[in-house]
Homo-oligomer: A and B are copies of this chain.
Amino acid sequence: MSKEKGFVTEITPQSEDFSRWYIDVIRKAELMDYSPVRGCIVFRPDGYELWENIQRELDRRFKETGHRNAYFPVFIPESFFQKEKEHVEGFNPELPWVTEAGGEKLEERLAIRPTSETMFGHMYAKWIKSYRDLPVLINQWANVVRWEKRTLPFLRTSEFLWQEGHTAHENEEDARAETMRMLEIYRDFIENFLAIPVIAGQKTPSEKFAGAVNTYSVEAMTKDGRAVQAGTSHYLGTKFAEAFDIQYLDRNNQLQYVHTTSWGVSTRLIGSLIMVHGDDRGLVLPPKVAPTQVIMVPVGPPKTREQVIAKVDELYAQLKAAGVRVRVDDRDDVSPGWKFNEYEMRGVPLRIELGPRDMENGVVVLAPRVGGEKRTVPQDKLVEEVIKALDEIHNTMFELAKKFREEHSRSADTLDELKAFMEESRGFVEAGWCGSEACERQVKDETGATSRNIPFEPSSRKTKCLVCGEEAVHTVVFARAY
């Protein structure tokens, strides 16, 4: 595409208006564009490639743990939603309905899937007959639709892309183990691949998935101190098994309901990583997910250009052979300075500069996007130095995000304390909670913060509910959330 489109010429500073900053960055970096359909975006190639890299890595992890992919219909008959009461109440307000097709009115309306527990449930009932058929471990990569009132590119769009795992097991123990296994895969992936520190924990009943017994989540903090739910894993008990009659003959020849799970992450991970890592210069992409990890820019006067480019090409080939995602920008109609800004804005983790003086000295200049100054390294050690630098950038990004989260987290003993913190700043607040929905709702009504989850590893154990002062059953993380 063209170098500069003009429609976004400057990026609004984060401190001035974080939402504007976000929209400026994703449009200027050509990650997305608005579509003519309300709440739906176009994932442009530079945005979609982030999703491809996320997919490839997660898919590998799913398969390593015995899951296989399948594909189920996008249409779900209306009657399916009626079968699980909580499920229909949760999703009904967000469904788009196909009422006509092939020139005729349909006898039964078809929803566009917002999630597929019901369709998987219907098919599993046909396939599962005996304990020998269990577990069933299937994942699906698909588009889903939830007709959201307020949308935000990547983070909340009417149509989005995701994966949804649906598994069936002989008993509660196995299903709960699967639920936690997948949450741990998400935590590990998000922290060690996307460099985003997350808080893993259990959702409160009011925040759980419609139809789940328990929902678990990993929650990240964006640079405006809000929470973003990055992945969820649900233990569904026998609720969907009972709704769809998924029974099997157990080892004692008795009919039993299966225990099911579901778990998913979506393209909101793209929005999350941008909001967690980005800065006033633009995107900052974690090296492991960055489409371009290294950009090489030749510098120096025209007379040395040919010689410099020859060397750049030689080094490029070495990096490429080592599996580094590297590109060269040797255009001569834009200045090196323009290129530096451009690739910083696009979040390329590492820049390599090479000029005539570097040629003489047998070195190149490495300029990391974050965490450290430019430095020179010997050309004959380039591959190992680049791999080391990318590792360092990943670690730096994770540490910076973690430090930011720590600086924007505190604990509160009372609702007033929480309120004061939310007014002066934003962030995560740990507080005791008695377990009543009324107290949880009061926090939301008075501060805008919702319970994010009950962390597995809270930094402190609270003894009293921040609202009513009664004994605390849980320590909860509260935050304003995307």
A side interface size, CB within 8 A: 62
Which of B33, B80, B92, B110 is in CB contact (< 8 Å) with A126?
A: B33
Which of these, B1, B33, B99, contacts A99 with CB under 8 Å? B99
Contact present for A96 and B103 (CB under 8 Å) = no
Complex CA–CA separation, A161 to B76 (angstroms): 17
Q: Which residues of B contact A36 (CB under 8 A)?
A: 77, 80, 119, 122
* A96, B161: Cα distance in complex, Å: 21
- A-B pairs with the 10 shortest C-beta distances? A102-B147, A96-B101, A45-B68, A40-B73, A43-B71, A101-B147, A97-B100, A37-B75, A99-B99, A96-B98
**Do B75 and A48 touch across chains, with their CB atoms under 8 A apart?**
no
Asked if A42 contacts B69 (CB within 8 A), the reply is: no
- If over half of A's interface residues share one DSSP class (helix, strand or loop), that class is named, otherwise mixed; here it is mixed
- Count copies of this chain in the complex: 2
A218 at the A/B interface (Cβ < 8 Å)? no
Task: Let me know if A482 is at the binding interface, CB within 8 A.
Answer: no
Complex formed: what's the CA distance from A149 to B95 in Å? 26
From the candidates B44, B71, B130, name the one contacting A48 in the complex (CB within 8 A): B71
Q: Is A123 close to B, CB under 8 A? A: yes
What residues make up the interface of A, taking CB atoms closer than 8 Å to B?
A: 1-2, 5, 33, 35-37, 40-45, 47-49, 51-52, 68-77, 80, 92-103, 110, 112, 119, 122-123, 126-127, 129-130, 132-133, 136, 138, 142-143, 145, 147-149, 159, 161
* A337–B80 alpha-carbon span in the complex (Å): 43
Tell me if A138 and B45 are in contact (CB < 8 A). Answer: yes
A72 CB → nearest B CB, Å: 5
Q: Are B42 and A73 in touch, CB under 8 angstroms?
A: yes
Contact B99–A42 (Cβ < 8 Å): no
Q: Provide the residues of chain B in CB contact with A142, threshold 8 Å.
A: 143
10 extra interface residue pairs, beta carbon distance < 8 Å, beyond A37-B76, A48-B71, A74-B143:
A1-B133, A5-B129, A35-B73, A45-B69, A47-B70, A92-B103, A95-B102, A96-B100, A98-B112, A102-B149
